[in-house]
Amino acid sequence: MKKIYKKHSTLLFICAAVIASTFSACKNYLNVQPQGQITQDQIATDPAQAKNLVTGIYNVFYIGGFDPDIDSFQFVIMTDIASDDADKGSSPTDYGDALQIDNLTTPATNGVVNNVWTGHYQGIARANQALDKLNAAQFDATTKNALIGEAKFLRAYFYFNLVRLYGGVPLLDKLPAASEANNDKYQTRATADDIYKFIISDLDFAAANLPDKGATDVGRATKTAAQALEAKVYLYMKNYQKAYEFSNAVITSGKYSLVNDYSLIWRQKAVNGDGGNNNNESIFEIQAGINKSCSAGINLYTVSQGPRAGGKFGWSDLGFGFNNPSQSLVNEYEPNDVRKAGTIITILPNGTRLFDGFRIPSRDSVENDRYSYKAYHSRSAEDNCGGNTDRLPKQVRILRYADILLINAEAAIQIGNPGAASTALTAVRARAKLAPVAPTLLNVWHERRVEMAEEHDRFFDIVRQDAVQPGRAAAAFAAHGKTWVARAALFPIPQTQIDLSGGRLKQNPGY
């Protein structure tokens, strides 16, 4: 009997992830028109239909808000707000789950922790479903392997987030048969080392088989995106030689360069050919064009971080007011570093005018002193979708060239190549209008913080750096006015998932 793949939901026992298995009829990440039902025969013989199948994996990026989440509001809470780069924001008592994470008092029952877990396993399930069907494809090997590489790149990204957040997690290396779904293999935790090895295996295949930038649709994974992510993964594994080699491959590819004006990196539209979506610094970013259903923006990503009036002075909120840049972050910037103004909306006593001309009347008219400029999406100077502010079409930069330069600099220092480190570090600082500094580990770490601020990497960086230089996390949080606790290096395994596994999932130490 010919099997039809169409919209439905399946409860997978592992982690109780509700897996949307719509690949062609849901909101479409790359603006491919809905194709209706896709049969197994079509997937096996028609590259266009197989491509739509892979597109369905990207669609998972649009979930979020207060639902299962990959790169939206709740992921921001677990990365920026959990770190010393940001305070929770909004009103003091707003959103207790976020307040727990901000205060490093996160329990296993925290809803944010469970939703981020579930969102990532939804993404993994979609990737595994696509891979299960692509393995039977009968069209040319180059196209088939490129699509498989794309699915593996995305699966690697999902697992990279999971292992950094929770440590060892269940390893779903395939789509389990119904009879296998409750097996111990899928209900217990693999080690963090095994997860990292699996990520590297997926990225090795992706890098070997994906087309490069310019040879595929904008927004889809590429060879250099796989190399860039692999460089980052190796940095976390402390394999500095490999981190250097893979970051160097991206640098020497000649396909990327730094945007001239730092503040334009996050704009939707280029200004005088500089910046904007998918700019020359962008290696991989989540696309967010407008479609008819106004569903192509990441749910609540922008509005959750927008300036909050809180009913003061009669002007309307631009958002919920979360993820406020901290005083600790403000103090980290050197004088005249242009990145500060490109990262932080600072509300002055007599008001602040934003790049689009919108004026926030005064400091007293908002709930908080500072907001993220990188998350801001203009209601007047950039595209909008009716009045749907929940899904403003803000693209999220996952990998960009400056990140890779700093990975290259850090890895070069660790392998004893200060000359290469200096070249990469100086390039990043020159764009910020700052003089060169010595290529030391502390200087690179400082540069990472101010270059990547509010881009959802800081918490991971603190934990990773503390493993290299013990005491660094405690010092960072002390400067932030908080007390670091060792257990906070990993979030708790969600209690909901432990219960659904029948107790087979074991908790992280200290929870």
Q: Which of 44, 41, 4 is nearest to 25 (CA)?
A: 4
pLDDT of residue 6: 27
**Amino acid at site 412:** A
- The model's confidence at residue 29, banded by pLDDT at 50, 70 and 90, is very low
Range scoring the smallest mean pLDDT among 27-36, 39-48, 323-332, 349-358: 27-36
CATH topology for 12-248+492-500 is 1.25.40
Mean pLDDT of 126-153: 95
Decide if pLDDT at 16 tops 70. no
Neighbouring C-beta atoms of residue 376, cutoff 10 Å: 24
Q: Give me the percent of the chain exceeding a pLDDT of 70.
A: 93
- Tell me the DSSP string of 262-273: GGGTT-SS-BTT
| CB-CB contact of 302 with 384 (8 Å) | no
| Measured distance CA(347)–CA(264) in Å, rounded | 20
Distance CA 4, CA 133 (A): 12
Question: Quick one: what percent of the chain has pLDDT higher than 90?
Answer: 83
Cβ 473 vs Cβ 466: under 8 Å: yes
At 313 the pLDDT is: 80
- pLDDT tens-digit readout, 398-424: 999 999 999 999 999 999 999 999 999
Statement: residue 121 has pLDDT above 70: yes
Helices 441-452 and 401-414 pack at an angle, to 10 degrees, of 170
Q: What is the pLDDT of residue 37?
A: 61
User: Confidence class of residue 10 from pLDDT cuts 50, 70 and 90?
Assistant: very low
Residue 11 pLDDT > 80, yes or no?
Answer: no
- Confidence check: pLDDT of 1 > 50: no
Distance CA 430, CA 423 (A): 11
- pLDDT exceeds 90 at position 56: yes
* pLDDT score of 28: 32
Q: List, as one string, the DSSP characters of 302-316.
A: TGGGS---TT-TTPP
Outline which parts of the chain fall under CATH 1.25.40.390.
Answer: 12-248+492-500
- Residue 365: exposed, middle, or buried by beta-carbon count in 10 A (0-12, 13-18, 19+)? middle
Greater model confidence, 274 or 293: 274
For residue 257, the model assigns a pLDDT of 98
For 307-363, write each residue's pLDDT tens digit. 999 888 877 889 999 999 999 999 999 999 999 999 999 999 999 999 999 999 999
Which two three-digit tokens encode residue 307? 């300036």
Q: Indicate the pLDDT class of residue 20, thresholds 50, 70 and 90.
A: very low
By mean pLDDT, which of 27-31, 92-96, 454-458, 464-468 is the weakest? 27-31
Rounded Cα distance, 432 and 192, in Å: 36
H/E stretch holding 17 reads: strand 17-20
Q: Is the pLDDT of residue 23 over 50?
A: no
| Distances from the Cα of 470 to the Cα of 90, 132, 221, angstroms | 33, 43, 36
pLDDT of 15 above 70: no
Element holding 203 (H helix, E strand): helix 192-209
Does position 269 have pLDDT exceeding 60, yes or no?
A: yes
Residue 180 has pLDDT above 90, yes or no: no
| Mean pLDDT value of segment 378-395 | 90
Q: Are 194 and 168 in contact (CB under 8 A)?
A: yes
pLDDT of residue 323: 98
pLDDT at 39: 76
